Amino acid sequence: MDGLPPQALDQVADFFRTLAEPARLQILNLLRSQEHNVGELAELTGYSIANVSRHLSQLGRQGFVLRESRGNNAYYRIADPSIYQLCDMVCGQIAKRVDAQLAQGAAFTALRNATAKPARRTKPKAT
């Protein structure tokens, strides 16, 4: 980022804002293996066609996806597959953090269980 003018920094911020939406990340992940039309993406994600169209429009404005019309359908594909390098790097870092948090939680639970006082047993009442 060194030496980027403010206008370029605004574009970088817009780039990351576009990726900050889980639905868009899901769409990008689905387009990783093959192109899809809006209806297919809506079915695969569980979102409405209107919602998927809105996300695809934003992804297109930022240059993540390309649109190709074929008959009555528009098919979307990834414009630049290098986006997955960034996503894989970020996802790898998050996976490491989650693993560390889970390990820390398991260690805490084990420690808590090891130091817990045993429950007092009461004698059953004689009837």
Could you tell me how far CA 9 lies from the centroid of its own chain? 23
Residue 79 in tokens: 């414009």
- Give the whole-angstrom CA distance, residue 62 versus residue 14: 8
Instruction: Give every strand in the sheet of 36-37, ordered side by side.
Output: 36-37, 73-78, 65-70
For the chain, give every domain's residue range. 6-78, 82-113
Chain centroid to Cα 2, Å, comes to: 28
Architecture of domain 6-78: Orthogonal Bundle (1.10)
Question: Which pLDDT does position 121 carry in this prediction?
Answer: 64
Nearest to 14 by CA among 53, 80, 59: 59
Per-10-residue mean pLDDT of the chain, 127 residues long, equals: 83 92 96 96 97 97 95 94 89 86 82 71 65
pTM across the whole model: 0.73
